[in-house]
Structure formats: structure tokens, C-alpha cells
Amino acid sequence: MQKKIIVAANRLPIEIIKTDEGLHFKKSPGGLVTALSSISKEFDLQWVGWPGISDLDDFMTEADFKDKLKNEFQSTPILLSKSLVNRYYFGFSNTVLWPLLHYLPNHCEFEEKDYLAYKKVNELFAETIIEQITDPENDLIWIHDYQLMLVPNIIREKIPNAKIGFFLHTPFCSIEIFKIIPHREELLNGLLGANLIGFHTYEYLRQFRDTIKHLLGKECDVDKVHLGTHSVKFGVYPVGVDVKQITDSLNSEAAKNSVKQVNRITKGRKLILGVDRLDYTKGISKRIKGYEKFLDKNPRFASQFVFVQIAVPSRVKIQSYKNLRDEIEELAFEINEKYEDENNPPIHLLFKSFDFEELSAFYKQAEIMLVTPVRDGMNLVAKEYVAVQKDKGVLILSEFAGSAGELGEALLVNPFNTDEIANALEKALNIFTWEKSRRMRSMYQKVSLNDIHYWGESFISDLTDFSSKEFHIAESTTILINKAQIDELVKQVKESNKTLIVLDYDGTLVELASSIESVKPDNELLDILNNLSNHPNYDLAIATGRSQENCDEWFNSLNIITSCEHGLKIKWKGETEWYQMLDNSEIDLSWHEPIKELLNKFCRRTPGSLIEEKESSLAWHYRQSDKELGKIQAKELVSNLSEMLANKTAEVLQGKKVVEVRIQGLNKGNLIKRINQLEKKYDSILIIGDDITDEDMFNSFPETAFKIRVSQGISKAKYHLNKVSDVRWFLTKLI
């Protein structure tokens, strides 16, 4: 059976035109279609996206419309109302995400209704994709771009073993900019539902990795992050162009006819060319100002050169785009008024789109190509120009375009510096012919090697390989407990005459937090614990690193077993006094004061960190500190503590955002010692914990005990749940 790839993008690769006769359909050529054409024989390609129209105007029933797209174009449409498109696409996608990902916060306008529409559309996409999945083990899902950032995790929650790829076609901005985005954590978690996230450049990958480390507190490797349900790999896949298709287009009739149009504009003058969508990220205004400075320094060139700026209209409903066109027209008018000679303007604006065959004639005639976006994910115009010219021409390229990392032989400029653009134009005129040829041939070789087909094939290959290996690795660590296993466990527990339920507290029953107020048991948790403790067949125990005082305050009203300070003291249910597991002669706290002094130093050096003092231990918490700084400081602190505690009766324990020094011989496994002392017997034992301190319990209790970890990882526990809310839900099933 042929493997399936479900490709989801904002727009389907189909152009639908309304006429008096009805709806006309044709395939819309594009980079993504071309990228996947070479693997279409190996895979069954299915497309999911918005068809570009919001109503069918009685031309066709919705069922017939969907059938036609499915049967003739392998596409499943997401039908969206005009108001939903306006808020999801023209709203949140393009007045929040687009400007901020491109480092332009001054263009950002946020409305909560727009985000709700964005979320709704992402849910519709996810539901539609799920409907197309027939074999979760083998079907691949490839989601594209910033309009669909929530989709991966929505699918992941419904189909845990789905193989999901996501590619971002824009830049990924720095954390300082991304923090501006409302609902930023939800967007990041949405992306982390994927197995593989692709970026154009390593800079974007690095900034994404830093953002999830600092905003979500995820500990990342260089190119991956391990989560509770799966691992996510980050990869660099610079998108390319179809070099063969470009070469073929030069000989087409459309290209030949377009040469005539170019000649009518140039009138024998040399051509400087700019080709962009009409967008404020493309730096068109600054480019025109740079060209004006070039003419001011070299007025004789006004009659020898013509600068043609093709600006394809886009997002015309957004006011900032309308303002941009007005600004460009005004700048061009001033230059032409200053330098026009015998009706031959030195700058020519074309606000229209061209088929590539027509556009290729402009590329071929251009002696200089100006590609100066203020920020661009990749910019394929630069690569298209190189593919057309091969060994001629000069490319002036913004250092803030993603393609600058590949096309280093171009004349790189800061697009904000109009003097630099003017100087680059002068330099382009003075480069020797052999030097131009050398630069272009080198760039052509790269563009030919890393073409659009290689981009698609390499991403799909990595998604297939990594997602398969990742799930194999996951099987060697903890396994996500499924519904059938939960039902079987609940059945065993309920049928047992006596069951011991042992629960960690922080990170298991409550979310990790640095303040005491934040981790006090809420009413929902108290109800769960109270119901469990009153069950006649259960003994409920809470084993925590918290102090005796905390446990007395929080749990005294409950009929439970309590173990505090990592097993230093245990109080059996019904008892009023704590039993100390170590004799006083075994407790040596001579290390306490020098260690406290060291921890204080690290508190002063690490804003947001704090010390928690307990009877048998000292803990340095850094949950509220900068994530990167906290990690660095914790590593240094552990190193210092290891030296200081050599030959001492204390040990260092590194947990989740905490470094703790405690008396040797203390651990949560002491609970089993107390059970044996009291000669308690149980038919079944259930233990749930979340970090390294709970591994002591998993190790100490018999192999027959049912052990569950909160979040995936290498553990003595066999199974895991994903989060605190899952633990609470699971416990309610035992009541």
C-alpha cells in the first residue's frame, strides 16, 4: 500500500475563478507543488487548505465541490466564511505574527477576536487532517507556515503516535520580539506537537530553541528537545528553486514576448531590477531612496540606467499595505521629476503580477538585481535571478535575507543603510567582467545543488527517519499509558483487598512553582485526596521533599500517610507524632552553615533564585530565574558543592530547577522501610512521581508495584502520564 503524505497549507494549490458560466478550476503552480512533484510517485499526496473562495454562489453544492477537489486535485478544502478569513488571515496571522516574526512590531495590531478566529481555523485544519489519516504508523503530515502554528499539537493530543512535520517559511524572531506576541506559550506548544520543525537558516533554529528554553523552560539539546510524549527535532532546510524549470522557461513564447515589453521600458538603457510582493518587509522604500542617492552622486547615470521595480499587490485589505504603495509612488514621482529626460523616467513601477515565463525576461535583461528586504525568511527572487543569469550580472542582496547565508558571493548590504545601497550600485558597475562571472558561477552551483526538489526530499526523508527512530527510543524509556492500560490498572486496584497508593507532591499533584502560596493544595486536589483516603481498601501516602511544617499545615485534616523531607520523617495515618527514620547520632549538620553561605552567593548572582531551609537539607531553587542563567549557575553550583562535600555526611541532588544538599542516607525509599517495620501488607501498590527524587521510590518498592512517571524519560517506572492534570484525572477514576 502506498504511503500517504498529508500536506496542509493556508491555501490549496488550486486557482478557482468565478465566471458567469460557473466555477473554473486549474492547478496553481508554486514552490511547494514543485518540491513534492519528485516524490509524488512514491507517496499518495493529499492536500488540505483553504480554496480561496468563501462561498459557492449556488454554482455548485458543497458536496459536489468537495468531491471535485478530492477526485481531480487530491485536495480537501477548509471552507471559511469571509469574516473568519478576515480575522484569522488578515487579522492575527498578518497583523500580529507576520510583522513580529519579521522584527517589525510597529506594524503589529492585536485583537483578541482575531486570535480566537485563528485558533478556530487551526482546529478546523487539525480535524480535517485527522479525517484524512488512515494509517497513523506510516502516514506523514507536513504542515506549513505561521498561519497554522497550533495545528501540530492539536493533532498530537488526538493521535499521540502521529508523524508530524512543520516548516516555517518566515524568519523566527529573537525571544525579545516573540515575547510581545499574545498567547505566545500556546503558539510554542502548538509547534512542539511536531516531530520535526524545519527552518530556512540556523539563526532561526537557534532563536526558536532559545525561545522555548526561556519561555517554556524546556531543556534542549543543540537540535532537539525531549518532551513527555515525544521528542522534537529541529532542522535547517533552505528552500530552493526549480533550476530546470527556470531554464526551460527562458525559451518559451511568453518569455520571448516579455522581452519586447522589457525593451519598451528600457529603451536601450541598462536595467536595474527589483521584484517583490508589495510588502513592508521587502524594503522597497529604502531601496528607492538608495537608488536616488546613487543618482545624486552619479547624475549622468540617470539617462543610462532605468530601475524597474515590480511590486506584486498583496493583502490589499490591510491599511499599512495601501499606505506603502502610496509612499513608493510618491518617492518614484520625486525621482522621476528630478531626473526625467525626454520622457524616459529613471524609475519605473509595475504594480502587477507576472507569470514566471514573463518574469524570466526581466531577470535575463537585468544587469543588476536589487534584493534588499529588511527581513526575509529566504527570498527566492535572488535564487531565481542567479538561475537565469548563470554567469552574468550582479546580485545586490540584503544581509537580512535568509538566502544571504548561501549566496555569500553577492554584494551584501544593510537594507536600512541607503548609503550602503547606493555604494553597492556603484561597486556593481566597477566589478570586472571575470569577477562577475566568478561570483555568479559559484552561486549558480549552490542554487543548482540545493534546488526545490532536494528541499522537499530531504525534509520528508528526515521526518520519516527521525519520527520512526524517536518512537523506537521512546519504547525503551517510559511508555505513555493508554486507556486500555488505565482501565486494567483501575480494575486491579479496585479488586484488591488492600492497595497502597504513594504520590509525590510537587510536579505530580501540583505544578512546579517557587512560592509556597502557589503550591498549597487547592479545593479540587483536597477533594481527590480526601476521597482516596476515606476509601476502605486504600492506604494513601504522600512522599515529598517538603518540610514537616508544610505537611502538617496542608495534610493534617486528611487520613493519610505522610513522608516529609525525602524520608527523614514519616507519620502513619491515625498517628499524631512523626517517626524519625535516622537516629540523632546519624544526623551530622556540620556542613550546613558553609553550604548556606555558598548558596547565598549564588542567590545574589542569580536574580529570582531563593533558598529553602529544612531540618535535614538546604535547597536552592531557580524556577523564577532566567532559564539559561539558572542552568549555567546550577551547573557551577553543583561543581562547587561536590568539592565542598567531599568526605562529608551530605550529598548533592539536582532536581527540576532545584539543587538540594541533604543528609546522606535520606531518600523517599525510606517509606518501604517504615512499612516493613510496621509489618504492613498490600495486595497491590501504585506509585506516581515526576523527578529523580522519586526514582528512589521506584527502586525501593517491589517490581510488582505499578509505577508511573509524570512526563516521559528514562526511569524505573514503566509508564508515564503527561502532566499534573492527567494525574488528577487518573486518580478520580480510582475513587
Task: Encode pLDDT of 318-353 as tens digits.
Answer: 788 889 999 999 999 999 999 977 678 999 999 998
Asked if residue 228 has pLDDT above 50, the reply is: yes
Residue 473 has pLDDT above 80, yes or no: no
Residue 432: count other Cβ atoms within 10 Å of its Cβ.
8
How buried is 646 (Cβ within 10 angstroms: 0-12 exposed, 13-18 middle, 19+ buried)? exposed
For the chain, the structural domain boundaries read: 3-79+122-236, 243-449, 479-581+666-734, 592-663
Owner of C-alpha cell 549555567: 632
Give residue 132's pLDDT band: very low, low, confident or very high (50, 70, 90).
very high
Q: Which CATH superfamily hosts domain 479-581+666-734?
A: HAD superfamily/HAD-like (3.40.50.1000)
Which residues have C-beta within 8 Å of that of residue 220, sequence separation ≥ 6?
209, 212, 213
Among the listed residues 132, 153, 114, the one whose alpha carbon sits nearest the alpha carbon of residue 77: 132
Question: 243-449 with 479-581+666-734: one CATH topology?
Answer: yes
From the candidates 114, 139, 242, 504, which is the catalytic residue? Answer: 504
Structure confidence by residue, pLDDT tens digits, 71-126: 999 999 999 999 999 999 999 999 999 999 999 999 999 999 999 999 999 999 99
Beta strands (DSSP E) in 75-195 are: 75-77, 140-144, 163-167
Type and span of the H or E element at 26? strand 22-27
Q: Of 409, 230, 381, nearest to 310 (Cα)?
A: 381
* pLDDT at residue number 415: 97
pLDDT for res 505: 94
Element (H, E) at 689: strand 684-689
**Where do we find the cell 505522610?**
562
Distances (CA, A) of 290 to 111, 549, 735: 36, 70, 73
The topology (CATH level 3) of 592-663 is Alpha-Beta Plaits (3.30.70)
What is the mean pLDDT of the segment spanning 278-305?
A: 95
User: What is the CATH code for 3-79+122-236?
Assistant: 3.40.50.2000
Confidence of residue 475 (pLDDT cuts 50, 70, 90): very low
Indicate the pLDDT class of residue 718, thresholds 50, 70 and 90. confident
Q: What is the pLDDT of residues 399-425, one digit of tens each?
A: 999 999 899 999 999 999 999 999 999
**pLDDT tens digit sequence for 177-218:** 999 999 999 999 999 999 999 999 999 999 999 999 889 888
AA identity, residue 219: E
504 is annotated as an active-site residue? yes
| Whether residue 728 has pLDDT greater than 70 | yes
Q: Is 629 left (phi over 0), alpha (psi -120 to 50) or beta?
A: alpha
Of 358-367, 411-420, 628-637, where does mean pLDDT reach its minimum?
A: 628-637
CA–CA dist 164, 195 (Å, integer) = 5
Burial of 656: CB neighbours in 10 Å, binned 0-12, 13-18, 19+: middle
**Residue 578 above 70 pLDDT?**
yes
Query: Is the pLDDT confidence value at 471 over 60?
Result: no
Look over the chain and give the mean of its residue pLDDT values, rounded to a whole number: 90
Dihedral (Cα; 532, 535, 536, 537), 10-degree rounding: -60
**pLDDT class for 36, splitting at 50, 70, 90?**
confident
Per DSSP, 107 falls in state G
| Cα 562–Cα 564–Cα 569 angle in degrees, nearest 5 | 85
CA 415/CA 400 separation, integer angstroms = 8
H helices of 591-626, in order, are: 592-605
Note whether 687 and 668 are within 8 A (CB): no
Q: What's the pTM value of the predicted model, to 2 decimals?
A: 0.75
State which CATH number among 3.50.50.60, 3.40.30.10, 3.50.30.10, 3.40.50.2000 fits the domain covering 243-449: 3.40.50.2000
